[in-house]
Amino acid sequence: MSAPETSARDSSAHDPAAHDPFVRDPYAPESGDRSYDVDAYDVTIDYRVRTNRLEGLAVLTATAAESLTAVSIDLVGLRATRVRVDGARAMYRQGPRKLRVTLPARAAVGERFSIEVAYSGAPRPRRSRWGTIGWEELDDGALVAAQPTGAPTWFPCNDRPDDRARMRLSVTVDAGYLPVPTGAPVSVVTAAGRTTVVAESSVPTATYLAALHIGHYEQRGLRGDARVRLFTPPALRREAQRAFADVPAMLAAFERTFGPYPQQDCALVVTPDELEIPLEAQGMAVFGVNHLVPGEQRLIAHELAHQWFGNSVGIGRWQDIWLNEGFACFAEWLWSEESGGPTISAKAAKHHARLSELPHDLLLSDPGPDLMFDDRVYKRGALTLYALRCAVGPSVFGAIVRAWCDTYRHELATDADFRALASRIAGRDLGAIFAAWLDRPELPALP
C-alpha cells in the first residue's frame, strides 16, 4: 500500500508470545483462526458487473494445527449456501464476520482436510478502523483493496497474514469485461457471452495479497520487458505505455540491488477511475487514471518494490509492517537517485526534516493498529534503513538487503530476524542503531 509523500511506548524487549502461532494478532484480533492452516485455495467466481451479483465456490485445503472439531472461516457480506467437509455435507452457522463449520470427526494435529463453501451475494467493502476495505464497485467494473482484512469480502478464507497458501482463481464475467485475478495466467476463454480467466499462484500468497480487478480491459505487453503485462481500457493504452515506460529500467535496478524478481507474474492494471492510492497485490499493482501523470514514478517504484518486500519476504504479524513499507519507501529513494533525481541522502534529509515537525509518539517496532499505516511508519522505516546504510557503508548495506531477500524469499520474517541478519552480515552488533530508530519514539538525529 502506498502513502502520501508527506504526511507508544518505549520497549526494546520483544515479546516471545508474539511469535506463538496460537496467539491472536492484537492488530486484527477478529480475523483468522489459528487452529488450522490453509495449504491451498481453489476459488471459482461468477460475477455480474451490472447487478453486482457474485456466485462463488471456494475449496480450502487445510491442515489442523491442533486437535479440533470445528473451524472458523472469515466471510463478510456474503452468505454461505452449502458447506462440505471432505465431500460430505457439514453443519455450519454464520455470523456477520465468521462462518463456523463443524467437522464430521475430530481432526488430529497434522491431519489434512478440505472445506468446500458455496456462497453468493452482492459484495461490498467492509468497515474497519482503517476505513472501508475489500471489494469495491467502480463506475463500470470492480476492484479489490484487501489490506489488511478485506479478503473475506469476496471469498471465504483464513484471513491471517502468516497463513500463506497456493491459490487458483477462476473468474467469469460478461463478455466485454476482462477479469484480472492474482496469479500467473492459465487460460482465457470467451463463450456464450461470458469470459472466464483462470490464474494460479504456486508461490505462497497471503489472503490480503489476493486481488481481482474487473473492467473493460485489454492486455498488452510493456515495451522493454516481456514479463510485464499491462491491462488498460483501450482509450488509455498510449497514456499508460508512456507512464510505465521506465518500469523495465526500474525492475532492472531493483534486481541489481534486491535480487531476481521473485514473483511468477508482473501485472500492472490501470482503472479509468481515480484512486486515492495505488495498491499492490501478489505479482500485481493497480493504479488509477490519475496516476498516469508525470511525477508519479515514486508510486510505481513503491508498488514494484513490494514484490520483494511484503509479497516475497512477508510479515506474519502486522506489528512488523515497517519491514514492508520502510523498504518500499527506501526503494523510491533508490530509484530517484538511479534515474537522475534527488539522491538517497537528499531524500532522507527532506523527510527527516518533515518528521521532526510531527509528533514523536510513534514506536516503529510496535506502532499499534491505529497508526500502522501512518506515513511516519513509511518514512521513519526508510530512514532506519538509511541510518543502517550510513553506519555500515553502501557495500555492506547492499549485502544485507540482498541476503534479506535471498534468505526469506517467499518466507515469513520478523523485525527481530532483520536485526539479527543485519548484525551477522555486518560482523558487529547493530543493536544500538535499531533501538534508537525502532524502539524509542524520539526521532534520532539524521546520520
User: What is the 3-state secondary structure of 337-355?
Assistant: HHCCCCCHHHHHHHHHHHH
Residue 357: partners with Cβ closer than 8 Å, 6 or more residues away:
none
Residue 183 reports pLDDT greater than 80: yes
Supply the DSSP string of 400-437, one letter for each residue.
HHHHHHHHTTTSEE-HHHHHHHHHHHHTS--HHHHHHH
C-beta separation of 163 from 206 below 8 A? yes
Supply the DSSP string of 367-391, one letter for each residue.
--GGGTT-HHHHHHHHHHHHHHHHH
Q: How far apart are CA 28 and CA 161, in angstroms?
A: 10
Average pLDDT across the chain, whole number: 94
Residue 9 reports pLDDT greater than 80: no
C-beta separation of 74 from 132 below 8 A? no
End-to-end CA distance of the chain: 27
* Cα 376 to the center of its chain, rounded Å: 19
Using 50, 70 and 90 to split pLDDT, how confident is the model at 296? confident
pLDDT at residue 327, as a whole number: 98
Q: How far apart are CA 302 and CA 325, in angstroms?
A: 8
Q: Return the ∠ at Cα 51 (arms to 47 and 55), rounded to 5°.
A: 30
3-state secondary structure of 360: coil
C-alpha cell at 61: 485445503
Q: Express each pLDDT in 328-357 by its tens digit.
A: 999 999 999 999 999 999 999 999 999 999
Lowest mean pLDDT among 150-159, 202-211, 241-250, 286-295: 286-295
409, exposed or middle or buried, with CB in 10 Å at 0-12, 13-18, 19+? middle
Of 255, 351, 352, 355, which is closest to residue 304 (Cα–Cα)? Answer: 255
Which helix or strand (DSSP H or E) is residue 230 part of? strand 225-232
User: How confident is the model over 57-75, as a mean pLDDT?
Assistant: 98
pLDDT at residue 10, as a whole number: 30
| CATH architecture of the domain formed by 33-215 | Sandwich (2.60)
Residue 19 reports pLDDT greater than 90: no
Q: How far apart are CA 284 and CA 77, in angstroms?
A: 25
Residue 113 reports pLDDT greater than 60: yes
Which residue, chain included where needed, has cell 533508490? 334
C-beta separation of 199 from 181 below 8 A? yes
Q: How far apart are CA 333 and CA 386, in angstroms?
A: 10
Supply the DSSP string of 174-200, one letter for each residue.
ETT-EEEESSEEEEEEEETTEEEEEEE
Backbone angles phi, psi at 135, to 5 degrees: -70, 135
Q: Express each pLDDT in 80-95 by its tens digit.
A: 999 999 999 999 999 9
Kindly report the number of other CB atoms within 10 A of residue 266's CB atom: 20
Residue 21 reports pLDDT greater than 70: no
pLDDT at residue 15, as a whole number: 37
pTM: 0.94
Using 50, 70 and 90 to split pLDDT, how confident is the model at 2? very low
**Which sequence spans correspond to the domains of the chain?**
33-215, 312-438
b vs e for 364-378, b when ≥16 Cβ sit within 10 Å of the residue's Cβ? bbbbebebbbbbbbb
3-state secondary structure of 124: coil
Which residue, chain included where needed, has cell 487460460? 187
Residue 253 reports pLDDT greater than 80: yes
Query: Kind of pairing, strands 112-121 and 178-181?
Result: unpaired
pLDDT at residue 261, as a whole number: 98
C-alpha cell at 124: 461490498
C-beta separation of 85 from 92 below 8 A? no
pLDDT at residue 22, as a whole number: 52
Using 50, 70 and 90 to split pLDDT, how confident is the model at 6? very low
Share of the chain above pLDDT 70, in %: 95
Share of the chain above pLDDT 90, in %: 94
Residue 5 reports pLDDT greater than 90: no
pLDDT at residue 24, as a whole number: 82
pLDDT at residue 251, as a whole number: 98
Q: Express each pLDDT in 260-270 by its tens digit.
A: 999 999 999 99
Is the domain spanning 312-438 CATH 1.10.390.10? The answer is yes
Residue 207 reports pLDDT greater than 90: yes
Q: Express each pLDDT in 114-124 by its tens digit.
A: 999 999 999 99
